Amino acid sequence: MSGAILWFTGMSGGGKSTLAAAVSARIQGIRPLEVLDGDEMRTHLSKGLSFTKEDRDINVRRIGYVARLLARHGVFVITAAISPYADTRNEIRQLASAEGIPFVEVFVNATIESLVARDVKGLYTRALAGEIPHFTGISDPYEPPTHPDIVAYTDKESVEVSARRIVTALVERKLLPEQVLAAEGRL
Amino acid sequence: MSGAILWFTGMSGGGKSTLAAAVSARIQGIRPLEVLDGDEMRTHLSKGLSFTKEDRDINVRRIGYVARLLARHGVFVITAAISPYADTRNEIRQLASAEGIPFVEVFVNATIESLVARDVKGLYTRALAGEIPHFTGISDPYEPPTHPDIVAYTDKESVEVSARRIVTALVERKLLPEQVLAAEGRL
């Protein structure tokens, strides 16, 4: 099977990393796999970059660049970064497509109300108090995908349900072997 | 065969990229391969970084990080960046070794006199005139490897001779199949 990029996008605290881990657990040992998590990428590839549009785009392009390098060699790459700008995500999709690398966009869709209510890291409270400039969804834009390949409603469905839907969609697209569905039982 | 990192280090104009291309031509089609060239990395991973020790180290660590990601998935990775600091190169060797990834350091050794005399990009003339701050070997340090795995004397031997010696050393270390030596005839 050829490499592919599964690209999670969505606001902070919506469950991108959690879902990426859940999907990754289903693929582990079945396909060559790498998870490029947003926080880790900020550490390894983009330390020092700010959260202006320009710097966010640079960060997202770097993740896309590394994802393509890996996918080119047959790796199933999962990225989990906010990636708030539609144009930048589309640019990465196009660059991947130009190399024949399937790019599957998953919109992690939770309402801003649910994110504020849960506020797992306490960031929304601080952002609403004006303490965090450039906070996506509060003081910085988030552009939802107009045509996402998959939507995960993480404020309405469990991680297990979202992960299963994503994995099923990937099997249907022949990007994962049917074997991953058999793994459902042991998760 | 598992992945590996072939790490070229040496001053500007010494022939790192040329040698990387020559070695790569011998491996192409035989093993999964990726060349991470210093100039390209500056564009894709490190735009905006300066040439202070701190920023050079960040750049080199990013290249090392991406090289490990690829090597982890069986890719033979060739890097060609000045990477002037011995400690930083050793750090990357250790991180690779900790993952079981072979790291082979090639010191592209050309005397500063030969580099100034050839001055392929006209950079040494400008650096000697004080026009380029932080220019490796002139206004910035270059720390040669104390125990390089391979030394390429690019001011004394041809690209073909250096490339053949490198490829032979890699075959001896079981990092490339003997088949690559058979390719010598058609190059």
* Predicted confidence band of residue A49 (pLDDT cuts 50, 70, 90): very high
The reply to whether B88 falls in a domain is: yes
Instruction: Say what the pTM is.
Output: 0.94
* pLDDT of A132 above 60: yes
How many domains does chain A contain in total? 1
Residue B30 lies in domain: 4-179
Q: Which residue of B has its CA nearest to A71?
A: B70
Short-list A56, A47, A39, CA closest to B58:
A47
Query: Which of A61, A65, A73 lies closest to B75 in CB terms?
Result: A73
pLDDT at A51: 94
Q: What is the ipTM of this complex?
A: 0.93
Whether A187 maps to a domain, the answer reads no
CA-based nearest residue to B143, from B64, B62, B79, B57: B57
How much is the mean pLDDT over chain B? 95
Contact residues, chain A, for B32 at CB < 8 Å: 73-74
Q: Tokens at residue A34, please? A: 């790498």
The model's confidence at residue A37, banded by pLDDT at 50, 70 and 90, is very high
User: In the prediction, which pLDDT does A183 show?
Assistant: 64
Q: Are B176 and B31 in contact (CB under 8 A)?
A: yes
Distance CA A70, CA A72 (A): 5
Residue B8 has pLDDT above 70, yes or no: yes
Q: Quick check: A70 pLDDT over 60?
A: yes
Average pLDDT over every residue of A102-110: 98
Read off the pLDDT of each residue in A132-154 and give the average, rounded to a whole number: 96
Residues above pLDDT 70, as percent of chain B: 97
Task: Give yes or no for a contact between A180 and A26, defined as CB atoms under 8 angstroms apart.
Answer: yes
Q: Kindly give the residue spans of alpha helices, DSSP state H, lying in chain A.
A: 16-27, 38-44, 53-71, 86-98, 112-118, 123-128, 159-172, 179-182
Which of A73-77, A183-187, B30-34, B140-144 comes out lowest in average pLDDT? Answer: A183-187
B83 belongs to the catalytic site: yes
Confidence at B187, pLDDT banded by 50, 70, 90 = low
pLDDT of residue A185: 55
What was the pLDDT predicted at A139?
93
- Is residue B85 included in any domain, yes or no? yes
Q: Is B47 an interface residue toward A (CB < 8 Å)?
A: yes
- pLDDT for residue A164 is more than 70: yes
Q: What is the CATH number of the domain that holds B139?
A: 3.40.50.300
pLDDT band at B26 (very low <50, low <70, confident <90, very high): very high
Residue A101 has pLDDT above 70, yes or no: yes
Domain assignment present for A26: yes
* Mutation target among B69, B77, B91 for the A interface, most CBs of A within 10 A: B69
pLDDT at residue A1, as a whole number: 78
In this predicted structure, what is the pLDDT of residue B182?
A: 82
The answer on pLDDT for B144 being more than 80 is yes
From B12, B17, B46, B83, active-site residue? B83
Q: Is the pLDDT of residue B129 over 90?
A: yes
Tell me if B184 is assigned to some domain.
no
B81/B13 Cα distance (integer angstroms): 11
What is the pLDDT averaged over residues B58-69?
A: 98
Domain membership flag for residue B154:
yes
- Over range A54-73, report the average pLDDT: 97
Q: Is a pLDDT exceeding 60 seen at residue A59?
A: yes
pLDDT at position A120 is: 87
- Candidate from B58, B70, B74 with C-beta closest to A69: B70
One-letter amino acid for residue A166 of the chain: I
Q: Does B95 touch chain A (CB under 8 A)?
A: no
- The Cα–Cα gap between A31 and B108 comes to 38
